[in-house]
Chain A
């Protein structure tokens, strides 16, 4: 029982164990092991067909290479801009609903009205900018150029509409973004089968348009006016994981999809001329490539502009900071849509607006928004008024001055841009000058306004809350200061004037002082010249404390806490100067080193440049003296230049001089200062500092320090030397403007002539000013290591490398011989180790570096080993493609790493503004209609243009009429092209290229073929796609895209020719020579065409020989045959066609709201004729009519007698005629034989019959014999074959046996080998 109960062992049939067993079993049998099959039956594994093998090989290689794309350097920024999602579809398909649902899905907010782009955070690493695309073809074209992802909405109940296909075609031309179809209105289907069928049909049509397998989404039904939550959620998921491919145009051009627009025009100008050109600022994420300041941009629908200023702002819709957690919390689900009035926080250049209204309060939106706007508006107005009419109107000055005077107001007045602008134009200076005059009023007003402002405190509070920590602290400070302010007011008034002058001085600061130098001067934290950004505020505070009231008052004037760092720095310098003016001696002694640094930056720049000019930094002594002198000269020059503000300038000079010369004059102080300075300089070791060349002038006494300093200075000085000062730069770029200002704003700059002679010799050679004496040993040794014979770096020295290798591979054992090789390095290492120990004992202070060094060594060793391994195993089959990819990858890494450690301010100077930044772009001279007719529903795109893409020239295209467009296109009819960023109307000429490269004009485009087109328009890089439409206004049921193609060539001149046939008539005919008239009008014309080929209509070819005297324009020509008087002779010539220089940008955004889709440019003549009802008067000759041809009568052929004689007899015309003419009576009679003759013929026939019989008989006999012979032959052959076969068999058997024997022996051997193994 028990045994029965026991479970029987069940052998495993699968799994590794079973496998192993089976193998063993098969092995025992002597069969098994697949690889043995190869040995057992080698023939089965041989190449059956070389051709097939080659084919399969080819195919696999083809498939492999098909997968390759040309590798490109990955230039996507680390923090990419939001993905642009364009929702497109015909009207009433549910676009807005989809957008709203998506926003709600991602942010849990409900937007009621959507205008313009909406930016949302959709995930930890992705933001989306969703924008709706209307059915206006202008909008469709613009958005297709910036789209990353297109949500193509299709009304399933209706099917595809033209808009869908038009948009797809636009996309195809301008680079194909990702496209996802979304089917809506699926709930209208009652019948499930019908629904399924429709879905399938639509899907397949969609696939043919996009690509097979393109994603098509189904949104089934609506619930409470929204799509189903789950479906939208899925759609959102799809969007937020989608990957995008880079598009050529987009990655090579910077562009901004603007989500905010502000007008900055001076209100006064608008008042005077409401149609004046406007100045606007546009905000948005920068995408594509790096954008450089002052570069050219194009706004589709508006025109070309030059960027007047760019700045980057903090990201209004930033990605979450830390990414560790799985999902976003509610705080991080941001939404930003200023055009729709949703933004939460709106950042300006240095202000932050908080829209408390939010999305839930859209009912109150009007009220919420308006005050904000008002505030902004008022700010703008006051601000711009400052700029322009500082002196002209006192009232406006008050408005101005108030905010400046009172801190509170300053706190609120957050139009940063204005501030900066003022700075640039040195408007500030002027403003203060006016202050001086009105000081009393000013004070009163200020106090008044302060009261007023207290009422507005709520708003101020709001903005303060929004601002970052620094601002808050500042605000607090300022609050503290408020009581003090009044007390100081009087004193301030005095100082105002001086400040003006000092600002002059400050203007001379090097360009980098306000943006860049902080880097170089990182260690100069104590120095006021350039504190680091982060520490700015604190330092300010410190200084303030030190310098007390005076400074505060100063700051009051420039009150704004939002001031740019640069401004602050500049101001801090001012304060310094001011404080010095107060002449508290103790302060001087305290601060003088720093101050001196300031000074040197001011004036030192020019001297530095001079120094470089003379390039003799070594001769410090002389130079110092010289520069002392030159400096004064410079100052004198300055004062001269400042003509207008001479007084102030002088004061400035005096201030400076007091500072400069305080050193010289006050001996005791000097020494103190110098000593202090020395200490100070020691502190700033390594750092590069701004201190100019003046510094070392003062250092004359200490030469050692000087040399040291010079080394430190070199970098920033070099940069300054190259890129100069801001003022100078401005000057250089707008010299004309300078002249216009008439010296008012001439800022003293280092005389150019002193730096580089404007009219000097233009030579690129770098002459050696002061050659070294190369005979001296030490001089020679200074370049000793530049040669291969010199000492090498450790990592390159062959001997060292060898040593290292030995260390690496020192110990090894030769397995064959069993000899152990010991590397001597091991011993060395030990030794060194012991040495190290000793050393460690000796210097206990530095054990760590040693440790590190060792570690590094180890790491190096490991790395090297790994490299060797990689080289051996990975790179064996590295192809060209792999190498290329690797190269690109390296470049991408370098691009990322190069500027990573720099702060953004510096970085944008080198790189330009990088994509992903939120930028504010200022543009001037914008047509007023753009602002007046602004409609946020239409996208505003700023497309950056490359070099000389703003120029115009002739553009040649390859063009094909769209197969769905119903008409063909006519040459010289205006056509609207979308090319690059632009949409414009132009007049193309179509042509075909002949086999000899001639461009022959066509009247119409071919029906189904490519042709060339040339037009005059903007230069756009070759290879850019374009599309053409005939009109962008109105709606037609037909397909609107007329043609598509690509740019082939750009040039400044083009030759397209059309055929011109000149006809003439013979008026005198000789044998083969003819006189022809009517073709030309003068002898000269004929002379030009001498030697030209001519032809008669009947095909007789000839040549123009020479002009005749009469009639005018007649000429002699020779032909290959004699012409007839009725012949027409023509010459084929080519006449160059001029291309109309017509380029008319489509300015659809300038049209009034609601009419933006009605832009119409130049009309075609056909259209005009149709509209005006003008009938074309046809040329009668051009009309078709039945061709009536006269029956032609030909003369008889006459052959000359001499020729007749030469002809063969049968061809003689005489004979031919005779033969034809044989009359009936001349026919030959029938022959009747005589009896004798009959007999003969009968005999002959009998004989021939006999003969024939004999021959036939012989033939039959012969055939018989042949048959017999063949039979015998076959038999013999068979026997022979049999014999041979047997012999072969024998041989093969022997061979086979031998083979088998051999194999067996080898098998044995191998098995033996295995066993032994």
Chain B
């Protein structure tokens, strides 16, 4: 009978986000067992609980069951609802942790999503909001998710450990996505970036910029790195600084790299010069990997390709990250979709490392939540 889609079962807390996201999109129930069952502190952590709460907020009718110890999670997805929401993210992970999943879900809501997330905007673990703003949004636009209302606004910056940042994420809804043929990354025409500092000397930002430029100028003259010093209430609760860099090609591909200072009271203090240099090198590393999609957003691109119409989509990626590889496996188990994976070696020598051409036929996904009048 209807309503009994097969339940998928997994173990371990790793990849919790993609599992929940894919379960929500595919409408299949999900069971995750043995979440940190062997650790001293078993069960779900606060940031995961916060994430589950967020999923509950953006959906309607989903059922979440967690056992006493929090080691087992059962999730029966509802329909994506959206609307104007607010969410306090756990400061143990960055807002990027939550935002990445929201980026996957937002285009398929019933009402356009407009959510205020509070927490840590930039940290060392998760992709920062700046990077997602610079890379993920242009990527969404490629799939036809476009419009004025698509935006990420950083109203307050919050650094770990205390956070205190606040962002606004708004995304329009779409019924279907366009297929993409995104195989030529093009050449990098400019490098932009932001060097931010909160609750430290504003000179830090300038020092970072100087050192980063020193490295990048060997490749390209068109470099501009904004300095963003936030003051007062918009500077969050903890001091810190960092930098994110983006390289934009003539075809609109955007590659990014970022680095943040150690959180207050953890690790040794980092010199801004050193951070700037390292960040620039990371960007070069990212450029070496190459591809049409930034390594953080590989999974997002693949998901949107999967959820396209029944047409062939292609995208050229750099080497697949472990997260993406697992994501591909999950895509297969949730959507029965397999990607054609071809390795491409650049014909010429000076074009960076090996690339991977991913091809798939969309599953003909359509937004079941959207109302028609």
Contact = CB atoms under 8 A, between A and B. Distances in A.
Contacts of B324: 766
A765 B310 contact: no
A1297 interface: no
Interface in A982-1005: 982
A60 interface: no
B321 A910 contact: no
Interface in B1-46: 1-6, 8-9, 11-17, 25-28, 34-36, 38-39
Interface string B279-310: 01110110111100001101100000000011
A75 B332 contact: no
A304 B328 contact: no
A757 B12 contact: yes
A757 B79 CA distance: 31
A786 B5 contact: no
Nearest to B61: A1052
Given A764-B296, A787-B187, A1049-B372, A948 B60 contact: no
B177 interface: no
Interface residues of A, number: 91
A701 interface: no
A724 interface: yes
A183 B332 CA distance: 52
A892 to B, nearest CB: 8
B1 A758 contact: no
B296 A766 contact: yes
A758 B366 contact: no
Nearest to A951: B27
Interface string B333-357: 1011111111101001111111010
A947 B281 CA distance: 43
21 contacts: A718-B343, A719-B341, A732-B329, A735-B11, A736-B9, A759-B13, A759-B35, A759-B36, A771-B285, A781-B350, A783-B290, A788-B189, A790-B187, A790-B350, A792-B187, A891-B179, A894-B311, A910-B340, A946-B364, A1017-B2, A1022-B372
Nearest to A609: B325
B224 interface: no
A789 B287 CA distance: 14
B79 A953 contact: yes
Given A759-B36, A764-B323, A774 B215 contact: yes
A789 B250 CA distance: 12
Contacts of A765: 125-127, 295-296, 321, 323
Interface stretch (A89-97, A293-301, A1239-1247): A293-301
A761 B125 CA distance: 9
Report which residue of B12, B329, B338, B359 has the largest number of chain A beta carbons within 10 angstroms of its beta carbon: B338
Interface of B: 1-6, 8-9, 11-17, 25-28, 34-36, 38-39, 60-62, 77-79, 97, 100, 110, 125-127, 179, 181, 187-189, 215, 218-221, 250, 280-282, 284-285, 287-290, 295-296, 298-299, 309-312, 319-326, 328-329, 332-333, 335-343, 345, 348-354, 356, 359-361, 363-366, 368-373
Nearest to B62: A1052
A1041 to B, nearest CB: 23
Contacts of A304: 1-2, 4
A1145 interface: yes
A706 B265 CA distance: 47
> When A and B form their complex, which 6 residue pairs have the shortest distance between CB atoms, in order from nearest?
A1052-B61, A948-B27, A758-B12, A766-B321, A952-B3, A785-B350
B273 to A, nearest CB: 15
A303 B4 CA distance: 12
Nearest to B353: A782
Given A304-B4, A718-B320, A1050-B369, 11 more contacts: A252-B364, A714-B343, A722-B328, A723-B338, A724-B329, A763-B125, A785-B348, A891-B312, A898-B361, A910-B339, A1052-B60
A73 B110 CA distance: 26
B341 A715 contact: yes
B368 A1052 contact: no
B311 A73 contact: yes
From A306, A790, A948, name the one whose CB has the most chain B CB atoms within 10 angstroms. A948
B350 A898 contact: no
Contact of A783 (B4, B284, B335, B360): B284
Nearest to A947: B26
B356 A1050 contact: no
A1005 B179 CA distance: 43
Given A765-B127, A783-B351, A788-B220, A1049 B364 contact: no
A1161 interface: no
Interface in A426-468: none
Contacts of B299: 764
Contact of B220 (A764, A789, A899): A789
A760 B289 CA distance: 24
A830 interface: no
Given A759-B36, A1018-B2, A723 B328 contact: yes
Interface string A590-634: 000000000000000000000011000000000000000000000
Contacts of A521: none
A1184 B285 CA distance: 87
A1053 interface: yes
A786 B336 contact: no
A303 B1 CA distance: 6
A1013 to B, nearest CB: 15
B366 A946 contact: yes
- Interface-central residue, A290, A298, A756, A1143, by most chain B CB under 10 Å: A756
Given A948-B27, A1051-B61, A1052-B78, A788 B127 contact: no
A949 B5 CA distance: 9
A110 interface: no
A429 B157 CA distance: 62
Nearest to A758: B12
Nearest to A613: B322
A118 to B, nearest CB: 30
A295 B322 CA distance: 27
Given A764-B100, A766-B323, A783-B284, A73 B309 contact: yes
B15 A718 contact: no
A947 B365 CA distance: 7
Contacts of A732: 329, 333
B342 A715 contact: yes
A294 B336 contact: yes
Contact of A791 (B9, B343, B348, B361): B348
A440 to B, nearest CB: 45
A912 interface: yes
A295 to B, nearest CB: 6
A1136 B298 CA distance: 46
A1060 interface: no
B6 A306 contact: yes
Contacts of B215: 774
A947 B335 contact: yes
A772 B371 contact: no
Most chain B Cβ neighbours within 10 Å, of A766, A789, A953:
A766
A85 interface: no
Given A758-B12, A787-B219, A894-B312, A763 B126 contact: yes
A154 to B, nearest CB: 36
B282 A768 contact: yes
B352 A758 contact: no
Contacts of A1019: 27, 368
Interface in A901-928: 909-912
Contacts of A294: 336
Given A718-B341, A733-B333, A768-B282, A756 B5 contact: no
Contact of B329 (A722, A946, A982): A722
A1052 B61 CA distance: 5
Interface string A280-317: 00000000011011111010000110100000000000
Interface string A1115-1151: 0000000000000000000000000000101000000
A289 B372 contact: no
Nearest to B345: A711
Nearest to B299: A764
